[in-house]
């Protein structure tokens, strides 16, 4: 069973990227739209719960549509322009998260956050974009993403094994190697998160798709 803010979900998907904020587009049974900005917990049997905020919502014919974003939905909020001297990366990250109303995950990498910045200019741009620029995610193995509890993790990818075994826990249903994409079937759908290894392959994005109360997963692998 899948619920969002306590409502039974009948359709939609939850998109979990390795870098950035996750989001979900949901269709649920109900007669009243969710309040924009309100907290929304997505609960999926055998997968767990995901803490989000409502971005958009509407209701029609006893059906509720909603888009929700991880945590407080702060990744798209605009950070103000600032110039820093003799600070640390943690100081800039904390300012960015404060601007977005988000919280730093306790599992974040202290060494990455403690790096000294002699001089750094923060542009007036979305919080998520600012975090990616600060960490130089395209030119390094550093990353940031929002965890299921909504907190923001910052660190270096360690690529731990997902613990799922081919032909025991899951099976590749179909695959498009040219796109690095696979549909994955599970014996019992369990939690699979980006930044892990699935059968030795780096998981970049996980999409949980919901259809009539059933759950399936699509996986995008890193090159």
CATH of the domain at 121: 3.55.50.10
119 forms bridges with which residues in the sheet?
85
* Domain shared by 115 and 152, yes or no: yes
* Domain shared by 103 and 150, yes or no: yes
Q: Two tokens at 114?
A: 């403690």
From 133, 132, 127, select the one nearest 98 (Cα to Cα).
127
Residue 158, pLDDT > 70, answer yes
Determine the Cα–Cα distance for residues 55 and 38; give it in Å rounded to an integer: 9
How many domains does the structure of the chain reveal?
2
Q: What is the pLDDT of residues 168-216, one digit of tens each?
A: 778 888 888 888 888 887 766 667 899 999 989 999 999 999 888 778 8
* Domain shared by 44 and 57, yes or no: yes
* Domain shared by 51 and 103, yes or no: no
* Domain shared by 66 and 80, yes or no: no
* Domain shared by 168 and 144, yes or no: no
* Domain stop point among 122, 156, 190: 156
Q: Where in the sequence is the domain holding 13, given as residue range(s)? A: 1-70+164-223
* Domain shared by 53 and 89, yes or no: no
Given this model, what pLDDT does residue 211 score? 86
* Domain stop point among 113, 129, 156: 156
Given this model, what pLDDT does residue 188 score? 62
Q: What is the pLDDT of residues 124-134, one digit of tens each?
A: 999 999 999 99
Q: Two tokens at 189?
A: 């759908």
* Domain shared by 13 and 123, yes or no: no
* Domain shared by 43 and 81, yes or no: no
* Domain stop point among 135, 156, 177: 156
* Domain shared by 138 and 183, yes or no: no
Given this model, what pLDDT does residue 45 score? 83
* Domain shared by 8 and 53, yes or no: yes
Residue matched to tokens 């998981």:
203
Determine the Cα–Cα distance for residues 122 and 145; give it in Å rounded to an integer: 19
Structure pTM?
0.92
Determine the Cα–Cα distance for residues 66 and 24; give it in Å rounded to an integer: 8
């Amino acid at each position: 069973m899948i619920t969002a803010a306590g409502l039974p979900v009948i359709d939609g998907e939850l998109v979990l990227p390795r870098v950035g904020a996750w989001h979900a587009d949901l269709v649920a049974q109900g007669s009243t739209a969710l309040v924009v900005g309100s907290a929304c917990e997505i609960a999926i049997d055998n997968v767990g719960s995901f803490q989000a905020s409502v971005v958009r919502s509407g209701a029609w014919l006893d059906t509720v549509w909603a888009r929700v974003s991880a945590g407080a939905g702060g990744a798209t909020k605009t950070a103000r322009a600032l110039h820093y001297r003799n600070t640390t990366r943690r100081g800039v990250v904390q300012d960015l998260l404060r601007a977005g109303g988000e919280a730093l995950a306790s599992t974040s990498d202290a060494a990455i956050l403690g790096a000294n910045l002699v001089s750094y200019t923060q542009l007036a741009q979305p919080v998520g974009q600012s975090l990616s620029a600060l960490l130089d995610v395209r030119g390094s193995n550093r990353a940031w993403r929002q965890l299921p509890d909504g907190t923001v993790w910052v660190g270096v990818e360690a690529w731990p094994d997902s613990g799922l075994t081919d032909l025991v826990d899951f099976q590749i249903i179909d695959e498009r190697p040219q796109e690095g994409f696979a549909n994955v079937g599970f014996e019992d759908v369990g939690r699979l998160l980006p930044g892990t290894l699935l059968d030795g392959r780096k998981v970049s994005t996980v999409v949980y798709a919901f259809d009539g109360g059933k759950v399936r997963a699509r996986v995008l692998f890193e090159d």
